[in-house]
């Protein structure tokens, strides 16, 4: 396992341990820890198990359904979401928004995974995020590396047949 996976597993174990301890203490307070003294325990446990089964299958179905037809769309910043190019913090903060494009991206956000991507350097990412929040651009992720996706929306692209 990677270091990240080990850390994640440790976090899961710690959280599980906290939940078990809390549940155990609550049960001990409720019925003194002697389960046969709790009326209807078996029926309640069966009902809980059925509820969990239904919840998990519903969640699984809804997760599968929510991904059907959903595309990953990468949207460029400069020249697409805003006018011109921004290579300084001041330019990034003061770029003129293209509200017509932002409105279209907001509509796409409802059905697709939107990733903002930009050629701006790491030093401009805080200003870029501030600008996106200022103009309420809806997105799921942001990157300053070009990513694989289903569709790129940008101002400088050409299809191969347009060459």
On whether both 79 and 52 belong to a single domain, the answer is no
Instruction: Tell me, yes or no, whether 77 and 156 share the same domain.
Output: yes
The CATH number of whichever domain residue 89 belongs to comes to 3.40.50.1000
What pLDDT shows up at residue 103?
A: 97
The per-residue pLDDT string of the chain (163 residues; one tens digit each, 9 = 90 and over) reads: 888 888 888 888 888 888 878 878 877 777 666 777 777 777 877 777 777 777 776 766 666 545 667 888 999 999 999 999 999 999 999 999 999 999 999 999 988 989 999 999 999 999 999 999 999 999 999 999 888 888 999 999 888 888 8
Q: HSE (CB half, 13 Å, CA atoms) of 23?
A: 6
Q: How many CB atoms lie within 10 A of CB 143?
A: 12
Instruction: Report pLDDT for 105.
Output: 97
Domain total in the chain: 2
In the numeric block, the tokens 């997105």 are attached to: 139
- H or E stretch at 52: helix 41-67
Q: Rounded CA gap, 38 and 5, in Å?
A: 40
Which residue, 52, 67, 82, sits at the end of a domain? 67
102 with 22, same domain: the answer is no
Please name every residue paired with 50 in a beta bridge, in sequence order, or none if there are none: none
**Final residue belonging to a domain, choices 24, 51, 67:** 67
Conformational region of residue 79, where left means phi above 0, alpha means psi within -120 to 50, and beta covers everything else: left
The Cβ of residue 146 has, within 10 Å, a number of other Cβ atoms equal to: 13
Q: What's the pTM value of the predicted model, to 2 decimals?
A: 0.59
Do residues 18 and 77 both lie within one domain?
A: no
Range of the domain at 50: 3-67
Q: Which token pair is 155?
A: 């101002």
């Amino acid at each position: 396992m990677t270091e990240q996976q080990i850390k994640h597993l440790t976090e899961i174990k710690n959280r599980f341990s906290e939940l078990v301890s809390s549940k155990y203490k609550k049960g001990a307070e409720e019925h003194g820890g002697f389960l046969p003294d709790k009326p209807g325990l078996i029926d309640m446990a069966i009902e809980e198990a059925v509820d969990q089964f239904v919840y998990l299958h519903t969640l699984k179905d809804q997760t599968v359904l929510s991904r059907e037809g959903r595309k990953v769309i990468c949207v460029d910043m400069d020249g697409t979401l805003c006018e011109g190019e921004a290579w300084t913090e001041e330019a990034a903060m003061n770029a003129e928004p293209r509200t017509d494009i932002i409105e279209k991206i907001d509509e796409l956000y409802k059905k697709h995974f939107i990733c903002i991507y930009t050629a701006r350097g790491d030093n401009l990412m805080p200003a870029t995020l501030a600008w996106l929040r200022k103009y309420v651009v809806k997105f799921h992720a942001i990157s300053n590396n070009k990513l694989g996706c289903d569709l790129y929306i940008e101002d400088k692209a050409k299809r191969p047949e347009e060459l």
